[in-house]
Structure 1
Amino acid sequence: MKVPLLDLKAQLKTIEHDVKAAVNEVIDSTQYIMGPKVTDLEERIAEYVGTNYAVGVSSGTDALLVALMALDIKPADLVITTPFSFFATAGVISRLNAIPVFVEIDSDTYNMSPAALQQWLESEPDKRKKVKAVIPVHLYGQCADMDPILEVAETYGIPVIEDAAQAVGSHYPSKHGEKKAGSMGAVGCFSFFPSKNLGAMGDGGMVVTSDIHLYEKIKMLRTHGAQPKYYHALIGGNFRLDPIQAAVLLVKLPHLDTWHAMRQGNAAYYDANLNIEGIKKPHIAYNRQYHIYNQYVISVADKRDELRKFLTENGIGTEIYYPVPFHEQECFKYLGYKSGDFPISEYAAQHTLALPIYPELTREMQDYVIEKIVRWKE
């Protein structure tokens, strides 16, 4: 049996007619830059997430980049984030010649530790004055513990950018009421990379906010800082979302909550049946329905790479998210960190493994995955 990590063909079968019709509509319109499809998607994403505004952009990476630009991040400014995420989270900070500062993750959720954030801010009074943003990541589809993160950031007047690239539709039980990922900080950033729960047929992203001034600025920055056309008050970039991608996403968005529920059901099945010594299942920080399971990530106490090799040999797709924490990456050596500075992140990099969790995964496929993990353990 073959069990891929992700099977987009299975998803496409259910929506293929509508997707092709939507794409053809854009082709026939000859409006290939911006236009009504992008505007419609922006309005629907803002409504879905619970913000006043949304701006479609070219990728999740550019969503983070333009968010930092909108907050006027300058060279030598400090931006605090986690050392355990997809590269873009830290890469965009350095692209603006700002300085990434890493704080440790929680050992159960792999999200930013609010205690680590608070400890750094309290123990570095001189550097603290240079911190211009905090970027928590909602890793794997589960929200970081936002209330204490927002509280400590607010104490020091630091805006929060939510990296919600893997978390569109995730919920958080805030003391201010139930919130969705992306709606809690000054800005929220999403990715529509094809492997995401809401994936385009190429790159795409979205920035959401309820701040009218940030919204207007992000819109300007998206088109080279122009307002009106050819009149540039700001230096921006070409960060536009393609209307064909918007059209595809508009077809997919009404199915998103159903797909979330299918992933949650698959996760519950793994949780009930993957009871193997030395295998730690994903931690549910709040409620299963709050976690959208962009990935289902186990932690393997010993010989993770051997397990992955065994599963690959038996036709089962897996992935390691992520094998090298930022502070151990070659390109960030100049920051002065060393191995051992973030032991929880390093342990996660060495022991975690993502299993297939996509909505169309069958129970037979899951049983096969579980059976092979049991066989390897024996």
Structure 2
Amino acid sequence: MNQKIDFIDLKAQRRHLGEKLDAAIMAAVNEGNYIMGPQVKAFEQQLSAFSDVKNAISCANGTDAIGLCLMAKKVRPGDAVIVPSFTFASTAEVVAWLGATPVFVDIDQASFNMDPKGLELALAAAKKHGLRTVGVISVDLFGQPADYDPIESFCDANGLWLIADSAQGYGSIYKGRKSGAIGTMATTSFFPAKPLGCYGDGGALFTADDEVADVIRSLRVHGKGSDKYDNVRIGVNSRLDTLQAAILIEKLAIYEEEIAARQIVADRYEAALSDVTSTPQVMADCRSVWAQYTLRVDADKRQAIIDGLKAKGVPTAVYYPRPLHQQTAYSKYPAAGNGLPVSERVCNEVLSLPMHPYLEEATQDFICEAVRDTIASVG
């Protein structure tokens, strides 16, 4: 193929939004309210409506979003928070920020999300280490929601709060419930490569609890009280800037259209590739936003497949090459049971293909043919 294939083509979206985005950016620039301008409040109101949740609070990035939730819950040393090991580091990182202990749990190999069956083992591992388990952070990995019914039942039975980390899954639906409206609190990221991304860093968190929302609004601005120079708690500086809010307003307006386009791409991948490799499956009564389209291939053949696709001009990515519990910074923390075999296995098998709403059929056909030919050639 003569044209370069982008793994995620942000420029195509930029062209699609065109003059509306230009106007929104210049309006924010010319108004001069660069921090907490009116676009921030407007965007938060639109997020709230999109997710059917009472409070949507923007912040500087998706990592801070989780951190603010933990601060609001007063997580401290001696506390344990159960998190999946097969995810990006930020999910566990924020727990360690506050001196608490992440306890890693395995994933379901079909969805790549937290396996609810491992939660009791994680609870036992925390107890063994003399820790008090206070909550669970689930992850909507690759765009698909976690299996929340059993996770929520476990949390309710054990008096735990639940944070739904939907950095990759914002806009997904679990059995009629939208991401953002699931869990005690939920979070997302607007990193540019995310399904709903801005032109820099940004994030948001969601809660139905007005008291928690008020605390978080204080925490994100240095712990301010009714007067910003009366700091009533120790906080942080974590605001979404006005320019990013203006950009996100325009992107949110077409987000449902883009989710539908992502589904069409995923359906075409499934039709073309499911007979030659393990393709991702979405749980019944759920919607994925397809942040990534992730195959599973033979571990001993993956590098040859990557190299073969690269030679044909098809970019790929591996999310994630090593589970958190095996990474240097996190290897000292407890893991549920006698190890996390599924997380360890899929790290050697996963391979993500280009995925975005503007992936043209001809380009996708080329990708699919390249995948089929490469898999056949490596045997």
* TM category, shorter: over 0.9
Which of 322, 327, 338 is residue 325 of structure 2 equivalent to? 327
Matching residue's letter, 1:209: T
CA distance in 1, matches of 2:331, 2:88: 17
How far the C-alpha of 1:87 sits from its partner, in A, is 1.0
Deviations 1:197-216 (A, max 9, x none): 11100000001100011100
CA distance in 1, matches of 2:335, 2:228: 44
Alignment check: 8 A CA contact 1:58 1:239 kept:
yes
Deviations 1:130-164 (A, max 9, x none): 11110000001110000110111011110000100
How far the C-alpha of 1:16 sits from its partner, in A, is 2.3
Deviations 1:180-212 (A, max 9, x none): 112111110010011111110000000110001
- The equivalent residue for 2:241 is 242
Find the residue that maps to 1:335 and give its secondary structure.
coil
Deviations 1:7-55 (A, max 9, x none): 1111110112111211111111111110210001111101101110011
CA 194–188 in structure 1, closer or farther in 2 if over 3 Å, else same: same
- The equivalent residue for 1:292 is 289
Find the residue that maps to 1:220 and give its secondary structure.
helix
- The equivalent residue for 1:256 is 255
Within 5 Å, give how 1:344-359 maps onto structure 2: 344-359=342-357
- The equivalent residue for 2:84 is 82
In structure 1, stretches of 5+ residues that fail to align are none
Which of 197, 200, 203 is residue 201 of structure 2 equivalent to? 203
Within 5 Å, give how 1:54-203 maps onto structure 2: 54-121=56-123, 130-173=132-175, 178-203=176-201
Find the residue that maps to 1:100 and give its secondary structure.
strand
CA 147–129 in structure 1, closer or farther in 2 if over 3 Å, else same: farther
CA distance in 2, matches of 1:120, 1:250: 40
CA 58–123 in structure 1, closer or farther in 2 if over 3 Å, else same: closer
Deviations 1:305-357 (A, max 9, x none): 2211211222112111111100110111322669x821100111111011112
CA distance in 1, matches of 2:125, 2:87: 24
Q: Which moved more, 1:123-132 or 1:68-77?
A: 123-132
CA distance in 1, matches of 2:308, 2:351: 13
CA distance in 1, matches of 2:334, 2:50: 41
CA distance in 1, matches of 2:359, 2:130: 47
How far the C-alpha of 1:129 sits from its partner, in A, is 6.5
How far the C-alpha of 1:275 sits from its partner, in A, is 3.4
- The equivalent residue for 1:265 is 264
Find the residue that maps to 1:214 and give its secondary structure.
helix
CA distance in 1, matches of 2:18, 2:217: 32
CA distance in 1, matches of 2:312, 2:265: 20
Find the residue that maps to 1:298 and give its secondary structure.
strand
Find the residue that maps to 1:331 and give its secondary structure.
coil
CA distance in 2, matches of 1:316, 1:128: 49
In structure 2, stretches of 5+ residues that fail to align are none
Alignment check: 8 A CA contact 1:276 1:374 kept:
no
CA 129–150 in structure 1, closer or farther in 2 if over 3 Å, else same: farther
Coordinate RMSD, CA, aligned: 1.8
CA distance in 1, matches of 2:360, 2:128: 55
Find the residue that maps to 1:81 and give its secondary structure.
strand
Matching residue's letter, 2:135: A
Q: Which moved more, 1:257-266 or 1:308-317?
A: 308-317
Alignment check: 8 A CA contact 1:280 1:298 kept:
yes
CA distance in 1, matches of 2:368, 2:97: 42
CA 128–183 in structure 1, closer or farther in 2 if over 3 Å, else same: farther
CA distance in 2, matches of 1:337, 1:212: 34
Deviations 1:200-248 (A, max 9, x none): 0000000110001110000000001011211111101001001100000
Deviations 1:262-283 (A, max 9, x none): 0000100111111343x10001
CA distance in 2, matches of 1:120, 1:239: 31
CA 60–223 in structure 1, closer or farther in 2 if over 3 Å, else same: same
Percent of residue pairs identical: 36
